[in-house]
Structure 1
Amino acid sequence: MAHSRIDFSASFTQDSDEVQEMFCEHCDKHDKQYVPAEGFCEECFEYLCGTCLKFHKRYMVSHTIKNKNNMPQDFCLEKCFVHQDELVKFYCQACKKFACYECKTLDHGTCSMVNHLPALVPGIENSQEIKELTENLDMLMKDLEITEKHVNINMKYVASQETKILEIQSRKKRKK
């Protein structure tokens, strides 16, 4: 069963001016390796590297492959809650749930309103709202880094003050 609660916070990790580089799902799933995608299978809804694409074309002759320049840009890189190795790629409008390929097949096989996310909201990765969101996230990340630096500086200061207090207490004990 697909869950509709998804944390998108990790999905927009690239700078707002960059195009999200897609990666080979087979290499990620089976080898835990990040390999840039060279193509996209429209029937399987999978991104494939050059090696995986070669074998996919050989064994799935009837499938339509889009090359690197024409493949869709997924904007959701979240893993499915149920199928941990699968990316969330679909939205069922009837059930109002997100789904990976497995959930789509198992739980939404009879649903007529299941769409691949990039097809459901074409051009969202280039929309003004996403640009503003990623810019805001970038600013928040920078603020967080600055705050972390200040916390670290303050922690070092507190530690040095603690050391001084312990030294003073030690001197007082020796004098007694």
Structure 2
Amino acid sequence: MGLDDKQSTSYQGRQFTVLCQPCECDGDTIEAEAFCETCNEFICSPCLKVHRKLAVSKNHVIKSKDEMPISREKQKDPCTELCSVHHTEIIKFYCEDHNSVGCGDCMVLSHKTCSVKLVSDVSDNYDTCEELVQIKSKTETFLRRIFILPR
């Protein structure tokens, strides 16, 4: 079944199909049936079934097809990873003294006297840090070489 055969959604007079992002990474074009707000990712029914079974993602916030956004939006709160100690809490804090992250419970219990900041505040300059800029540049150069050079 091709893209034209799939049910498409209308938005401002345009027709489009939202594809499952994990499947798309594998080269498959499968229509998304849900949206994981925690991962900020569109997913199909088979991927959703797995997503709900995995310990790391079973507590994620899932929107059904009729509730899901029409495109990926930048997450308002970049903190989405669950704490490995307190499994239902989201990691939101960074301890500068120990160079570690944790949930609110972790920080209250183990880092009372430390210099603790919100991950979102610490990560605001992440996109512009010199190391990341260099990594992006090297990656772009690498990708250009892969697609330009014959195999």
User: Does TM, scored on the shorter chain, surpass 0.5?
Assistant: no
Please indicate the TM-score interval, normalised by the length of the shorter structure.
Answer: 0.3 to 0.5
Which protein, 1 or 2, shows the higher relative CO under an 8 Å CA cutoff with sep ≥ 6? 1
Greater Rg, structure 1 or structure 2? 1
